[in-house]
Structure 1
């Protein structure tokens, strides 16, 4: 994949992700307006997060990271008929495993919820509702696993538009469920469960026509002894942990939050959604595009281009990630006020969510770098190193949870959810830092001499942006109509971007410094 193709693919994924994230913001605004940040929405967040956790663990996470390098190697070195056989065998094995896992989860749903949200057990009605919602939404896991399978195939063949657009359908379905289906439900929040299942079916159906046109829609056949399937399983087992550290940390945080005051889960969820905006636009887009490209360079044994691609991806990430982290911290309260403070989402919910967002903002750059550093290992089919790093990150999150919660209680602070947000940031920094350490140690990637100038230029640009936002915030007025607050925040964002770019240009920075190679 040449430079223009990389940028074109990144732009497509970023544009589709932008659409998805905008729809996601609208979705969250609608959901919080209809249901509020309280008991019922806490229940849905927990119930939906479990299939979402498994989806990222088995489907989009470990499976994609193991499947794409093997599929790319087959595509590069073997006949198309052999590629079709691989797809058929993987399809059959994946369908079998995910169907069995879905049925098992439905059977043992109460036990899963007891482990995942033990704090809910003290409220029988809340616990029973979470079990019902979980059983309703868990089929989403099977549909999304097959969707991730189809998306991985299309990405390997340079097709990114359809897979990147698919998440938009989830947001549309959930908005429709909240606005039009919930009034007809005896328990309104259950409408979101039905919307999630319907969205899973839609996202899978969307991939089928393009697979058919590319002659890649192959009937499934179960064969766990196939050479390609065995290699994928061998790579996938350690990757199950390595690529899912963030999800495991969210699981730990949810367990803690289930014991905290009502609303804690919702506040953390809303803050996480805001950090996912820059992460999705840049980090996920780059990570999605670069894994097939790195895998192809590995198959071609082109080490020079391999390193150059990683360097290019890191430059783009740092260019966008540092100002995104700073802006989320400085504009946390205005952003939450503008987007969510209306209907059932009150001023207290805004305050609590903004505090969580400030604590999470410091990890945005780290989360984005993980999306680039981890594929550097998966492309060379090394899944053990990310696992080793993942263990360190999960241990850091668990330790920091205990430490920060202890400090907050000792200080007499009631905002314990902030401790969980700070732990997520600390864990992400450990994860990104250790991935880079091993990349550097093994001479896979390192920040070369040209980075000294880049770091200076980024530092100056961000300093100018901070000054501009500080000035702009003095003019911000929250006591206006909600739609005016939105325009005020958009104005602050534009001011920050302009100041950042002007600050960069004063140091001699030019866009060509972000060119690949």
Structure 2
């Protein structure tokens, strides 16, 4: 990337309403998640849950896991607070120097990591999916795919850097829309490259590489328009870079613990019967929809807002923002989790029961989906509680909590994997997420950073009552899952749409009757 800074560029972020920003991010994220589900429908139709699908999911999961752990996890949580401080307290020239140094240093580090990973692809696959070692052909195929997918980490990390800059300047829509390009690339690869490949799943690996380049290129014009497009130049001695690196070290374990837990699921799932990796993947993808649209969206807008309040030493506003974020994710997360649990088979059948996907695959994926749905609220809470530490440039506390949660997840895995197989792995991840979220919330409360605002008792009655009524109605109205297998595509779509609309109507009518209004969630950044 190169920089040509327009003389009129505004280097100070404008303040906007958090709810408005959240709705923008949610809308863009919803589009991305819907396209992601379309992508998964295409993949499930062509690949099902066989060896090719398992190989691609592992080859994609490795760089994607590192992306969440590094780019959107540790780097984002360390970079945004420092950048927010620069944006409120430093000159335009100092901001540009920080961006140039961070972009250059990030590129240099990740280029080296990528080169080593491509050279050691077979060993890396064995580490992440040791069960593949029993099938040399499957291991070799996964390693070949990984050599294509791993450069995605470099490209998407630079994309995350660009997105962090745009988010700090309250340009949330562009970074939130960018993942749509990944889904479009994979859909295009499945439709147009698969027929040309000897191994169909290899086309998807090419799609991942193409997507990384497309996502980075898409954000460049928007940085240029703001006058914030950097000229990358490695400078590890820069004060801002040193601070970011110092914050990143513990943050690698902090906010991304749930991703580490999902990776442990994959490792153990590779040791189970064929298809276990895919069953977990398909169920995780459904949970990712509400998690991304609600949890990640609120976490995305809350971090720069909290960072600015910390830089301004506005402690009361900081605490009120945290309370607001918790209320919003509970408002949407609780009914979403219950809907996923009640309608597990209908959702899976409607989205994935085509082509190579069997009835047995649906039953198995539904088991893990219900387990993941149990932990959905906890996954969301982590997304909004962890920024309460990172915004104050405290990355040590979340890492301590993260290590405890990760160890607990390992213990839960070993206790539950044998009686419940792949569903036990999903349940272990959910239980460890509750432990993680509970400890983060308790510590924030103990430090008087999280101060609960008035009205929580009434709010709890509103949420619990509305969610219970919705769940009961969905259970009564929805046909047995075996009936869904007999429906044609449009029948499935009509039924799912109708159930979702009915459930949402019951829930929000109940909230309205009990006095909850949209204006109650107004909060400025």
Q: TM above 0.5, one fold?
A: yes
Q: Distance in 2 between matches of 1:363 and 1:19?
A: 23
Cα contact 1:3–1:516 (8 A) shared by 2: no
1:212 matched to which residue of 2?
224
Of 476, 481, 499, the match for 1:492? 499
1:198 matched to which residue of 2?
210
1:170 matched to which residue of 2?
182
Of 179, 191, 196, the match for 1:179? 191
2:517 matched to which residue of 1?
510
Of 463, 466, 471, the match for 1:461? 466
Deviation, 1:506, is 3.2
Deviation, 1:447, is 3.2
1:241 matched to which residue of 2?
253
Cα contact 2:14–2:169 (8 A) shared by 1: no
Of 339, 345, 361, the match for 1:333? 345
Pairing of 1:109-508 with structure 2 (within 5 A) = 109-406=121-418, 408=419, 416-474=421-479, 477-478=483-484, 479-508=486-515
1:52 matched to which residue of 2?
64
Tell me the TM-score normalized by structure 2: 0.95
1:7-56 superposed Cα distances (whole Å, 9 cap, x missing partner): 22111111110100010000000000011111110110011100111111
1:412 matched to which residue of 2?
none
Deviation, 1:254, is 0.9
Deviation, 1:4, is 5.2
2:95 matched to which residue of 1?
83
Cα contact 1:173–1:196 (8 A) shared by 2: yes
Pairing of 1:100-115 with structure 2 (within 5 A) = 100-115=112-127
Cα contact 1:336–1:350 (8 A) shared by 2: yes
Cα contact 1:47–1:130 (8 A) shared by 2: yes
Pairing of 1:13-32 with structure 2 (within 5 A) = 13-32=25-44
Deviation, 1:510, is 2.7
Q: Distance in 2 between matches of 1:512 and 1:148?
A: 32
Structure 2 unmatched runs, 5+: 1-12
1:205-233 superposed Cα distances (whole Å, 9 cap, x missing partner): 00111111111112111111111111101
Q: Distance in 2 between matches of 1:470 and 1:36?
A: 28
The structure-2 alpha-carbon separation of the partners of 1:7 and 1:505, relative to structure 1 and needing over 3 Å to count, comes to: closer
Q: What SS does the corresponding residue of 2:305 show, helix, strand or coil? A: helix
Q: Distance in 2 between matches of 1:401 and 1:173?
A: 34
Deviation, 1:475, is 7.9
Q: What SS does the corresponding residue of 1:242 show, helix, strand or coil? A: coil
Deviation, 1:355, is 1.0
1:309-352 superposed Cα distances (whole Å, 9 cap, x missing partner): 11111111111111011110000011001111111111111111
Deviation, 1:492, is 0.8
| Further displaced range: 5-14 or 359-368 | 5-14
Q: What SS does the corresponding residue of 2:236 show, helix, strand or coil? A: coil
Q: What SS does the corresponding residue of 2:17 show, helix, strand or coil? A: helix
1:62-91 superposed Cα distances (whole Å, 9 cap, x missing partner): 001000000010010011111000000111
Q: Distance in 2 between matches of 1:499 and 1:173?
A: 38
1:450-505 superposed Cα distances (whole Å, 9 cap, x missing partner): 21111111111112112211221248841221221121011111111111112223
Cα contact 2:59–2:146 (8 A) shared by 1: yes
Q: What SS does the corresponding residue of 2:178 show, helix, strand or coil? A: helix
| Further displaced range: 474-483 or 276-285 | 474-483
- Equivalenced residue count is 510
Cα contact 1:106–1:135 (8 A) shared by 2: yes
